[in-house]
Amino acid sequence: MIDIHHHLLPGIDDGSKSLEQSIAMVTMAVEDGITHIVATPHADDTWKYNRERNAGLLQQLREALPAEVAAKITLGLGCDFHMNWENTEDAHVHKRRYTINETEYLLVELPDVGIPNRMDELLYQLRVDGLTPILTHPERNTTLQRSRDRLREWMQSGLLLQVTAGSVTGHFGSTAETFAWELLEKRWVHFLATDAHNLDRRPPHMSSAYRLVSERLGTETAERLCVSNPLTVFEGRPWPSQPEPIGLFEQPFVDDDDDDDKPSFWRRLFGR
């Protein structure tokens, strides 16, 4: 399994507190069946992002891993990109500073409550700059829990979704769990990831979520969300075709004079 969202770097945000804890987190992830990890520290007003510093910390971690662990893991670098105007403007100038392994793929983060001002404009700017935004843990945002319309609009414009493995297993409460499964069953989700921060409260575990998705939606779906799609991102390859999402491109309004069999506006627009 490939984990593209992991607060692994020591001492720079609310994730790992020390090099020793980072080593233990990698070891735990390997034992859970994870083969690749993207270290994704926060990039926001509280924790300023410095890619050169973070790359140095990641290399220190690689060199400190026990040989038997290092042989089973590949580490990469990205960030948890907070959606604000300052970040987006900097990404406009330095297009690969914040992305996963300096590819086109960028994890973008919402707060658990509310949606940032000008979110539509910020996402549009990222797309114009040639970046592919991946929204982290939408199932945990209380505004999106109440309304799917904004999420649908963003995805129609090319936004990808990453759901937290712990939400699938109920770790973040019943509301997030229910929403996560709704998104999964509609085939709106493109990735599962741990969003690991530590060894106990938010550990680097994916296998339980993989198993549940495999049981309910099939092994092919679990492999796509936990292996093939995240590996595409990790390696920076072009985004592959995906199974048709349910209800994503449905007609936003109905004209009584239209033929019921006529393709919706969004299906015509996206050639679906």
| Greater model confidence, 46 or 33 | 33
* Chain mean position to CA 265: 28
Q: Can you name the CATH fold of 2-240?
A: TIM Barrel (3.20.20)
Token couple for 130: 């040639």
Summarize pLDDT for 72-122 with one digit per residue, the tens: 999 999 999 999 889 999 999 999 999 999 999 999 999 888 898 899 999
**HSE toward the beta carbon, residue 258, CA cutoff 13 A:** 10
- Cross-strand pairs, 192: 163
Residues 209/166, Cβ–Cβ less than 8 Å: yes
Q: How deeply is 116 buried, as exposed, middle or buried, from its count of CB atoms within 10 A (0-12, 13-18, 19+)?
A: middle
Rounded Cα–Cα distance for residues 24 and 19 (Å) = 9
H/E stretch holding 88 reads helix 85-93
Degrees, nearest 5: CA angle 232-71-96: 35
Rounded Cα–Cα distance for residues 27 and 196 (Å) = 13
Rounded Cα–Cα distance for residues 263 and 170 (Å) = 37
Residues 163/140, Cβ–Cβ less than 8 Å: no
Token couple for 67: 């040989």
Rg (CA), the chain: 19
Report, as an integer, the average pLDDT of 250-271. 45
Rounded Cα–Cα distance for residues 11 and 22 (Å) = 10
Residues 198/21, Cβ–Cβ less than 8 Å: yes
Q: Give first-to-last CA distance, the chain, whole Å.
A: 30
Summarize pLDDT for 208-260 with one digit per residue, the tens: 999 999 999 999 999 999 999 999 999 999 999 999 999 998 755 334 444 44
DSSP sequence for 41-86: -EESSSS---HHHHHHHHHHHHHHS-HHHHTT-EEEE--EEE--HH
Cβ-Cβ contacts under 8 Å for 223 (sequence gap 6 or more)? none
The beta strands (E) that lie in 92-250 are given as 105-109, 132-136, 160-164, 191-193
Summarize pLDDT for 39-75 with one digit per residue, the tens: 999 999 889 899 999 999 999 999 999 999 999 999 9
Token couple for 11: 């001492």
Name the band, by pLDDT with cuts 50, 70 and 90, for residue 147: confident
Domain boundary assignment for the chain? 2-240
pLDDT at residue 260 in the model: 46
